[in-house]
Structure 1
Amino acid sequence: MKTSQLLPLFALLMVFSLFTGCKKDDETPEPSTKEKLVAHNWRGDKVMAMGMDASTHPILASQIPDIKTMVLVFNENNTYTATYSDNGQTIPLSGTWELRNQDKFIHFDLLASFGLPEQVEIKTLTSSNLVLTTTAQVPVLGPTPLEVHFIAQ
């Protein structure tokens, strides 16, 4: 073949490679921690202490509210509302919250209502689950690691 016959074939090959070589990515960016928190109302599921459900431990169960009755709402303006039931009565709570330490911790006064530290670590945050960890000073038991589990509503 002559060079003049190869030139159009080479040009055609180059044009096709331009259209097949590059493809736009349709990836959407991962939502931020704040976007995930404010996207849902979070219903309490369980509190785990020392690897067991705290509601089954007499000392722990008397120290914390029935987590299954709690609904926690993080608002975009860094306020929160929460409700839970205590002896059949609905208890409302509200306050402010903020993310700290590269969005790995939440600082809010809700936990102080129950004698817990105001800062908790975000162990898990997905579109359906939120797990917060902290250590509580529990009578008789001393410092006790806790995991508070929530499910998106």
Structure 2
Amino acid sequence: MKNLRLITLLFLSFFVVTLASCDDDDEDKDPSRTDLLTAGLWTGNSVYYQGQDVSQFLRDSAQFEIKDLTTRFDKNGEYRETLGRTIVGTWEFANNEQDIIFDKGTNNELTVNVTRLTATEFYYEQDFQGTILEFRFLR
């Protein structure tokens, strides 16, 4: 009888240890910035200048509709930007993943500063000849 109790106790101990080791560590990890950026299509929502939404001004004065702009980033370092026509190029993070360099090493090279990146929001600042504009995208 003592052996049966001991075997039962050992079995229960083994079972509890086995259950505790089944914890999935991946659930606790936050997605990487690359995972957030490449998870789907980003659609333009607004453009800000010095804290003010200038989307309507750009629509009226420059015929630029931010909501028609979409961008998709792929993990292989390629992006597709569509605004009437589609542009395909390369992208990479820089400066500890705070900046994105588009088309590095080409005449079209452009660096933007990522100001917000979540699963549903992607904001970056871009310098247009001394004027800093913040482009806001949603998913």
Give the TM-score taking structure 1 as reference length. 0.66
Deviation of 1:123 after TM superposition, in Å, equals 0.5
Q: Cα distance, 1:50 vs. partner?
A: 2.2
- Name the structure 1 match of 2:85: 91
Is 1:103 the counterpart of 2:97? The answer is: yes
Matched letter for residue 28 of structure 2: T
AA in 1 matched with 2:86: P
Q: 1:60 to 1:97 in 2, by over 3 A?
A: farther
TM alignment of 1:71-150, pairs within 5 A: 71-84=70-83, 90-109=84-103, 118-137=110-129, 143-150=130-137
**AA partner of residue 75 (structure 2):** E
SS of equivalent residue, structure 1 residue 57 = helix
Unaligned runs of 5+ in 2: 1-12
Relative to structure 1, is the Cα distance of residues 28 and 56 closer, same or farther in structure 2, using a 3 angstrom cutoff?
Answer: same
Structure 1: state its 5+ residue gaps. Answer: 1-14, 85-89, 138-142
- Number of matched pairs: 119
Cα deviation code 1:30-68 (max 9, x no counterpart): 111111100011000011112222233369942x73110
Aligned ranges for residues 31-46 of structure 1 at < 5 Å?
A: 31-46=31-46
Q: Tell me how far apart the structure 1 counterparts of residues 65 and 82 of structure 2 sit (CA, whole Å).
A: 11
- Larger Cα-atom Rg: 1
Counterpart-to-counterpart distance in 2, 1:144 and 1:60? 19
State the AA in 1 paired with 2:137: F
Offset of 1:145 from its aligned partner? 1.6
Q: Distance in 1 between matches of 2:126 and 2:88?
A: 20
Q: Percent identity at matched positions?
A: 30
Provide the rounded CA distance (Å) in 2 between the counterparts of 1:77 and 1:118: 18
Q: Distance in 2 between matches of 1:25 and 1:97?
A: 32
State the partner residue of 2:67. Answer: 68
| Distance change in 2, residues 1:47/1:28 (3 Å) | same
TM-score by length of 2: 0.72
